[in-house]
Structure 1
Amino acid sequence: MGYIQVMTTVPSSTEGTVLAHSISSQRLAAGVQIIGPIRSLYWWQGSLRDEQEWQLVIKTTRALFAALEAHIKANHSYETPEIIATEITVGSEEYLAWISAETRKIDAL
């Protein structure tokens, strides 16, 4: 089974909490960390933005990426949310087993 860490950013702590809770309660991830506030500088619609955001770091399996991506897009306030996945190439056996066990419970919902 492949494991990934997915990142997205949101404009507020409240939106981050709501999104993290919906992702977790639907078992699209074993866990979500909310980091922030962070300062983000990025280009959007022809201008350089300098904004405060919160970053969500989502631990899940590669098999759930499409469902997680769809969920983020459907529940995010940004027109084009950041959705970036990084492979977890190495991790402790126990931690990876935990990700597997907690995301597998989606079938029980």
Structure 2
Amino acid sequence: MTDYLQVSTTADSREVAMRLVRSVVGARLAASGQVLGPVRSVFWHEGELGEGEEWQVLLKTTADRYPELETRLRGEHPWTNPEITFTRIDGGAVPYLEWLRATTE
């Protein structure tokens, strides 16, 4: 069985978030993506507590496509060390998961 993933990253604007989604979905590194926000974030940055507005990006992909997806996100993201994490999708509607796999092949 294919391992399915939901990948998350953030961006400082809706425009950057949409550019990232269009890039990876257009390259079939992800089957789909959503941009949520804005959200307020609190974080450590260069030794200081920071706060800001961000846009969250959620992408659906397979474990096989993840390494190339991460490389592309890191290469196109304006931040030096962007958040890029994933959560395994342990289940779901079989037709959707089949579509996800076929779309990213």
TM-score range, shorter chain: over 0.9
- Structure 2 residues not aligned, in runs of 5+: none
Offset from partner CA, 1:49-91 (integer Å, 9 cap, x none)? 1100000000000001100000000000111010101000111
Listed as ranges, the gaps of 5+ residues in structure 1 are: 105-109
Q: TM-score, normalised by structure 1?
A: 0.94
1:24 paired to 2:25: yes
What is the aligned partner in structure 2 of residue 99 from structure 1? Answer: 100
Question: Cα RMSD between the aligned structures?
Answer: 0.5
1:16-73 deviation digits (Å, cap 9, x = unpaired): 1111100111000000000000011000101111100000000000001100000000
Aligned to 1:84: 85
Percent of paired sites with the same residue: 38
Q: Which has the higher helix share?
A: 1
What's the secondary structure of 2:81's corresponding residue? coil
The answer to whether structure 1 residue 69 and structure 2 residue 59 are counterparts is: no
Amino acid across the alignment from 1:30 = A
Q: What count of residue pairs does the alignment treat as equivalent?
A: 104
Taking the aligned partners of 1:56 and 1:80, their CA distance within structure 2 comes to 15
- 1:37 is aligned to 38
Runs of 4 or more consecutive aligned structure 1 residues displaced over 6 Å after TM superposition: none
Residue 8 (structure 1) aligns with: 9
* Local SS of the residue matching 2:8: strand
How many Å separate the matches in 1 of 2:19 and 2:85?
19
Q: TM-score, normalised by structure 2?
A: 0.97
